[in-house]
Amino acid sequence: MLSKIYVTYAVYKAAIFSVQQTLSINKAIPITHRNQSLVFGVLKSYLTAIPSISHYCHHCFRHYFSYYRPISITHARSSASNIACIPVKNTISKSQNNMPEPLSTPINNATSWVLKLTIGLIGMFAFLQVYSIQAILPVLMVDLSATEVQAGMIVGATVMAIAIMSPFLGMLSDAVGRKSFIVGALLFLAIPTALIAQSPSIGWMGMWRFMQGLSVPGITVVTIAYIGEEFEGRAVTELMSFYVSGSVLGGFMGRFLLGHLHELIGWRAGYYVMAAMTLIGALWVGKMLPSSQQFVANPNFRSAMQTLGEHLTNRYVVTACLLGACVLFSLVGCFTFINLHLAKTPYELNTGALANIFAVYLIGVVITPLSTTLLRRFGSARTVRVAVFVSMIGVLLTLVTPLWGIIIGLAIMSSGVFITQAATISYIAVNVKKGRSLASGLYYMGYYAGGTMGAWLCGMAYARGQWSLTVWLLLFVQILALLVASFGMIKTKSRAA
């Protein structure tokens, strides 16, 4: 019972912090009465964002036939390229942007529990598969005769695909549509997930893991655009909190479920279960998610490419991308190979126990909102330096022998990493004046590219010197992050905080 309360609270706090950071990126939005109402509505919407699963189901069946009640407002449109921010209604006139009017003007302002549950499930299924394999790496190395480096690469394969596709799938959806894109991406995700169960070798598993990653941005990026187009005001904040909560829960549950499924039925059958869950999720979304009413095809490819070129030479963007790469390098490298360390003598933890270790990930998420206070007081550059130093202490603690000491080290390490990420996002919000959404998209591209490198290089370090050498590599990368923060970031206080 206490574990359920803890997980629910952790996801709730993650939703609050994530939406705060998401809103902070949109500094270009004019302060109008409508936008003030949006911001002031966030706190109230969070109070009911994370009820229990049974409460979800009760309201789902109770409001099954009344979940879609459109009302009329002004025309709304947004771009799916807004990867890391909440899309906001575009009030530019038709003569200014040469875009056709939407076919109809209704928007869903009063959202039902069915719709909230559906949005949360989209977030959960998007991240259910990304890191799930970490919990069973020791078993895979035996079953598929894989080396430590190969084990790291099958973790990084999905992350690599996400890094490659994140900046581009939003633009593709701008020309194709929203709901059909989300449902199609979920259906596609179920296919390689099921095929992983048939993998005869580590190479085949890596290929199917890469295919999984190709579909994830098609779910995440397009869902954010869909919410911004079809809803406004309090409805946007409520649905975003459910989406973010589902995403956090999915990242944790993927590791937790697959580890325990292996203990019950084996990892191959476990992947069939995960694929079936994703397929059911796609069918649910196809049935319950309202069709787009405000979508208007708007590729706008040339303008996006011009802004992309400018960002690649922007000091603020490049600095943020380097920090993002260091952040996920540390997180993926640490939480991937600590499993191999704890599966050996003297710990010899099974996959179920290893899956439980990932609960410390949620501790870091709960502590992360402290970054708001740090940013307000010290600014982005100093906050990053403090957070990276804290993370280094956590990594060093994992070298101790007692298991409880390692768990404390992992909790401290993840907390420092999450605060670093929050400060970096705030840094983009304050200093990038043009194309913030594309800048944040480039940040996440660098972020996931760092995760890919972490899985690969930490695998090489573990193969040569076990966990101790892996720790020194993680410390080296975090020292690089300290140097970037010290010499690359402008030392100004963060207004976004």
User: What are the residue ranges spanned by the domains of the chain?
Assistant: 1-299, 300-497
Exposure string of 250-284, with b = 16+ CB inside 10 Å and e = fewer, is bbbbbbbbbbbbbeeeebeebbbbbbebbbebbeb
Please state the φ and ψ torsions of residue 107, each to the nearest 5 degrees.
Answer: -140, 145
Instruction: Give the pLDDT confidence score for residue 66 in this predicted structure.
Output: 37
Q: Measuring CA to CA, which residue among 19, 417, 496 is closest to residue 247?
A: 19
Burial of 373 (0-12, 13-18, 19+ CB in 10 A): exposed
pLDDT tens per residue across span 11-26: 444 444 444 444 444 4
State both tokens at 104: 């109809």
Return the number of other C-beta atoms located less than 10 Å from residue 41's C-beta: 16
| Band (171; pLDDT cuts 50, 70, 90) | low
CB 400 within 8 A of CB 409: yes
One-letter identity of residue 317: V
Q: What number is the average pLDDT over the span 170-198?
A: 87
Burial of 307 (0-12, 13-18, 19+ CB in 10 A): middle
Rg of the chain over Cα atoms, rounded to whole angstroms, equals: 22
What is the pTM (predicted TM-score) of this model?
0.69
At residue 261, does pLDDT exceed 50?
yes
- CATH code at 300-497: 1.20.1250.20
Q: Say which residue, 39 or 273, is predicted with more confidence.
A: 273
Q: Which residue stretches of 398-435 are H helix? A: 403-431
State both tokens at 393: 């202490």
pLDDT tens per residue across span 106-115: 445 445 888 9
* DSSP annotation string for 219-244: HHHHHHHHHHHH--THHHHHHHHHHH
At residue 265, does pLDDT exceed 70?
yes
Top CATH class of 1-299 equals mainly alpha
At residue 77, does pLDDT exceed 50?
no
Instruction: Give the pLDDT confidence score for residue 338 in this predicted structure.
Output: 94
Task: Give how far Cα 132 sits from Cα of 84, 173, 258, Å.
Answer: 23, 27, 6
At residue 238, does pLDDT exceed 70?
yes
How far apart CA 412 and CA 393 sit, in angstroms, is 8
For the chain, the distance separating the N- and C-terminal CA atoms, rounded to the nearest angstrom, is: 35
Q: What number is the average pLDDT over the span 165-169?
A: 78
Instruction: Give the pLDDT confidence score for residue 161 in this predicted structure.
Output: 93
CB 7 within 8 A of CB 252: yes
Mean pLDDT of the chain: 76
At residue 230, does pLDDT exceed 90?
no
